Amino acid sequence: MATWKTLLLQDSASPLMEQLSFFHDHTLMILVIITVLVGQLLLTLSFNKLTHRYLLEGQLIEIIWTILPAATLIFIALPSLRLLYILDEVNNPTITVKAIGHQWYWSYEYSDFKNNEFDSYMIPVNEMNSFNFRLLDVDNRMVIPFQSQIRIIVTAADVIHSWTVPSLGVKIDATPGRLNQVSFSTSRPGLFFGQCSEICGANHSFMPIVVESVSTKHFIKWISKV
């Protein structure tokens, strides 16, 4: 989860988020190179008293400053298209979970199991324990087994919401009357926090998401008690 003075992305907890972090670093490196190069050229031109009278009329320089941006865009576009394909693909999910956004809480349905539906409300400040996180903890967490392909189907009952867990690299809109789906898998056990990322009303900031990643053994024990 995000902590004080965290300036960069959250630590990745899924292969998808790892790839997103790599793409972020890849693109940032290209942008830094371009910024340094252009800055150096500007400084050189500003403080240099000499001029090249044929520079602005040469075909060679025009070819170079046309090809270089095109090549740069290709280096950015190819990993981006690969990422889009990975994020959108759902291959043989182990478990399907349906998340429904309400004003202002989430409800979950484990459609692979019978009668496994529950609501997830934020824990009020006056009911919190010392180990709870303010405005982030919920009374009923979404529990999943780690290192398993999870498909989540998201919709809303009233207005548009957005089911978002940054450390898993998942952000998907919950639209009334429409089912959106995305797949992910957690690479380690733990608690992963998120919040609704679509302004949905007065209590928009009070409908957090908590994903609890556990072993398959503990998940089976939990699902049999729900």
pLDDT in the model for residue 115 = 67
Domain CATH number, residue 145? 2.60.40.420
Range of the domain at 220: 95-224
Does residue 3 fall inside a structural domain? no
User: Residue range 20-29: average pLDDT?
Assistant: 91
Classify residue 4: in a domain, yes or no. Answer: no
Instruction: Say what the pLDDT of residue 35 is.
Output: 95
Looking at the structure, do residues 103 and 162 belong to the same domain, yes or no? yes
* 68 and 118 belong to one structural domain: no
17, 172, 180, 208 from 100: Cα distances, Å: 23, 12, 11, 13
> Do residue 113 and residue 203 come from a single domain?
yes
pLDDT band, residue 53 (cuts 50/70/90): confident
Domain-embedded: residue 1:
no
Structure confidence at residue 30 (pLDDT) = 93
- The answer to whether position 220 is within a domain reads yes
CB proximity list for 144: less than 8 A, separation 6 or greater:
95, 97, 150, 186, 211, 212, 213, 214, 219
pLDDT of residue 1: 65
Please give the tally of structural domains in the chain: 2
- Give which of 155, 150, 200, 163 is closest to 180, Cα–Cα: 155
Task: Clarify whether residues 105 and 175 are in a common domain.
Answer: yes
Pair (150, 82) in one structural domain: no
Output the pLDDT for position 56. Answer: 67
Domain membership flag for residue 116: yes
- Pair (146, 216) in one structural domain: yes
Co-location of 82 and 100 in the same domain: no
The answer to whether the pTM exceeds 0.95 is no
Whether 162 has a pLDDT exceeding 70, the answer reads yes
Stretch 68-86: mean pLDDT: 89
Question: Residues 78-136: pLDDT tens digits?
Answer: 989 888 887 777 778 889 999 999 999 999 999 888 768 899 999 988 888 888 888 88
Token pair recorded at residue 64: 């170079």
67 with 110, same domain: the answer is no
Does residue 162 sit in the same domain as residue 194?
A: yes
pLDDT tops 70 at residue 152: yes
- Contact status, residue 180 vs residue 165, Cβ threshold 8 Å: no
Domain membership flag for residue 8: no
Whether residue 36 is contained in a domain is answered as yes
Do residues 129 and 211 both lie within one domain?
A: yes
- Dump pLDDT digits (tens) for 198-208: 998 898 989 99
Say whether both 122 and 207 belong to one domain.
yes
Q: How much is the pLDDT for 87?
A: 78
Q: Does 38 map to a domain?
A: yes
Query: What is residue 226's predicted lDDT score, i.e. its pLDDT?
Result: 67
Which pLDDT belongs to residue 92? Answer: 82
pLDDT above 70 coverage of the chain, percent:
96
My answer on whether 164 and 99 are in the same domain is yes
Confidence at residue 223, expressed as pLDDT on a 0 to 100 scale: 86
114 three-state secondary structure: coil
Other C-beta atoms within 10 Å of 2: how many? 13
